[in-house]
C-alpha cells in the first residue's frame, strides 16, 4: 500500500464493487454473488484478491457512493427504508444513521431550493389556506427575502384570523424543527420528495428569522405587523424588534448614518459598547471621526480597563435604541439605501 494516500489511483467501478462485497457479512456476500453470472463472479473474485489494503475512510467513501447509487435505482418513496434495511447488514448502526441523515437531509432540501425559484405570488396563493404553523415552517426554510415576498402576498385575513401576524409569531417561537415534521410539510409541496430519517432535529433561530423577514417587508406592512403583535404580546414584539437590528449590523451602515449616530449617542455609552467589539465595528466609528478624535477615542477605550459584561450589553442596547430612533425619524436607513433617482 502506498504511504501517501494522494498517490493512490482512482478505483474502477469493478474495484469499488469488490470493496462493497468484501465489506458485506459472508452470508450476505454469498447471496450477492449468487445473483451474478459465472464470468462476473470470476472477474469480481480476481479483483477482490488484488484490490489491496484500503483505509477506513476510503472504504466509507465507497460505501457512501453505493448508498447514493442504490437510492437512484430504488423507487423514490421506497428508497430510504429499502436502502436502510439493505445497509443495516453492512454498516454499524451509528455509521448507517449518519449516512442516512446526511443523504436524506440533502435530498429533502431540494424542494425548498425549488421554491426559491418559483413566483412568490403563486406560492402565496398556494399557501394562503394553510395553517399559520405550516406556513411558518415553510418560510423558515427559505431566504428571508423570499419569505418576505411570499408573506406580503398572503391575504391579510382568512375568516377572522390575521394570517401574517400569526405566521410571524410562530416563526419567532421556532427553536427546534423535527425532520419528521419537515418531511410532512415538504410532502404537501411535492409528493415525490424522499423520506427523512426520524428522530433528528434541526435548530431554528425563530426570532432571528422573524426579524429578518420583517426587515424585508415594505415599511407599512412591517409597522402594521409589529403593532398587531405588540397589542397581543408586547414582549414578543419587543424581542423581534431587538433582533431586527443588532449591534453587529452597524458594519452594514453607510458613512452618513455612522456620522449621524455619533452626533446622537453618549460618548461613554459608545466607549462601553465598543469594549470587546469586533475590529470592523470600531473601525466603522473611527472612520467617521477626525484623526485627532479617533486617536483620543482609542486612548480612552484602552484606558477603560476591564468592564462588566452586563454593562457592555446595556450600553449596546442604548446605541441600538438611538439607531432605531434615528431610523424611525427617517434620518438614517438601516435596511440598506436604495438606488437614488436623479
pLDDT, position 335: 66
pTM score, two decimals? 0.41
The alpha carbon of residue 243 and the mean position of all alpha carbons in its chain are separated, in whole angstroms, by 17
What domains, with CATH codes, occur in the chain? 5-91 (1.10.220), 112-222 (1.10.220.30), 245-328 (1.10.220.30)
Looking only at the bridges linking them, the beta strands covering 176-178 and 157-158 are: unpaired
Mean pLDDT, residues 77-99 taken together? 56
**Average pLDDT of every residue of the chain:** 75
Lowest mean pLDDT among 45-49, 104-108, 165-169: 104-108
Task: Quick: pLDDT tens for 219-271.
Answer: 778 888 888 888 888 888 888 877 778 888 899 899 999 999 999 999 999 99
Give the phi and the psi of residue 158 in degrees, each rounded to 5. -120, 110
All three cell numbers of 164? 401574517
For 40-49, 111-120, 156-165, which range has the lowest pLDDT when averaged over its residues? 156-165
Task: Output the pLDDT for position 264.
Answer: 94
Query: Which of 50, 88, 46 lies closest to 67, judged by CA?
Result: 88
How far apart CA 297 and CA 291 sit, in angstroms, is 10
Closest C-alpha among 164, 249, 176, 247 to residue 206 = 176
Task: Give the Cα separation of 226 and 235 in Å (integer).
Answer: 11
pLDDT bracket for residue 98 (50, 70, 90): low
* pLDDT higher at 157 or 38: 38
pLDDT of residue 8: 54
Mapping DSSP to helix (H, G, I), strand (E, B) and coil, where does residue 181 land? helix
- Rounded to the nearest 10 degrees, the angle between the axes of helix 132-140 and helix 144-153 is 150
The answer, yes or no, to whether residue 338 has pLDDT greater than 90, is: no
CA distances from 59 to 95, 122, 165, 251, 258 (A): 12, 46, 51, 46, 56
Give the C-alpha separation, 186 to 195, whole Å.
10
Would you give the DSSP letter of residue 156? S
Instruction: Please measure the distance between the N-terminal and C-terminal CA atoms of the chain and give it in whole angstroms.
Output: 70
The pLDDT, as a whole number, for residue 242 is 74
Q: Can you tell me the mean pLDDT for 273-298?
A: 92
Is a pLDDT exceeding 90 seen at residue 3?
Answer: no
Amino acid at each position: 500500500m502506498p504511504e501517501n494516500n494522494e498517490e493512490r489511483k482512482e478505483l474502477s467501478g469493478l474495484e469499488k464493487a469488490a470493496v462493497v462485497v468484501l465489506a458485506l457479512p459472508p452470508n450476505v456476500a454469498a447471496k450477492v454473488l449468487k445473483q451474478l453470472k459465472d464470468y462476473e463472479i470470476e472477474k469480481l473474485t480476481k479483483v477482490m484478491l488484488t484490490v489491496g489494503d484500503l483505509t477506513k475512510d476510503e472504504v466509507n467513501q465507497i460505501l457512501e457512493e453505493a448508498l447514493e447509487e442504490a437510492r437512484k435505482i430504488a423507487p423514490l418513496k421506497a428508497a430510504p427504508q429499502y436502502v436502510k434495511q439493505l445497509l443495516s447488514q453492512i454498516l454499524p448502526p451509528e455509521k448507517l444513521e449518519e449516512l442516512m441523515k446526511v443523504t436524506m437531509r440533502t435530498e429533502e432540501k431540494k424542494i425548498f431550493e425549488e421554491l426559491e425559484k418559483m413566483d412568490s405570488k403563486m406560492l402565496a396563493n398556494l399557501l394562503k389556506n394553510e395553517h399559520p404553523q405550516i406556513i411558518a415552517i415553510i418560510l423558515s426554510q427559505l431566504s428571508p427575502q423570499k419569505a418576505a415576498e411570499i408573506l406580503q402576498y398572503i391575504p391579510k385575513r382568512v375568516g377572522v384570523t390575521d394570517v401574517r401576524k400569526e405566521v410571524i409569531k410562530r416563526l419567532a417561537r421556532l427553536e427546534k424543527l423535527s425532520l419528521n415534521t419537515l418531511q410532512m410539510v415538504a410532502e404537501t409541496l411535492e409528493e415525490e420528495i424522499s423520506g427523512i430519517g426520524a428522530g433528528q432535529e434541526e435548530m431554528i433561530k425563530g426570532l432571528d428569522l422573524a426579524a429578518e423577514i420583517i426587515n424585508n417587508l415594505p415599511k407599512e406592512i412591517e409597522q402594521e405587523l409589529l403593532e398587531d403583535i405588540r397589542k397581543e404580546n408586547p414582549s414578543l414584539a419587543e424581542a423581534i424588534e431587538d433582533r431586527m437590528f443588532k449591534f453587529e449590523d452597524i458594519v452594514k451602515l453607510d458613512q452618513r448614518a455612522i456620522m449621524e449616530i455619533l452626533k446622537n449617542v453618549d460618548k461613554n455609552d459608545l466607549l462601553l459598547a465598543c469594549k470587546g467589539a469586533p475590529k470592523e465595528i470600531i473601525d466603522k466609528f473611527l472612520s467617521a471621526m477626525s484623526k485627532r478624535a479617533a486617536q483620543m477615542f482609542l486612548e480612552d477605550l484602552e484606558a477603560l480597563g476591564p468592564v462588566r459584561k452586563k454593562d457592555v450589553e446595556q450600553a449596546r442596547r442604548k446605541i441600538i435604541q438611538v439607531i432605531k430612533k434615528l431610523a424611525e425619524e427617517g434620518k438614517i436607513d438601516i435596511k440598506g439605501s436604495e438606488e437614488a433617482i436623479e
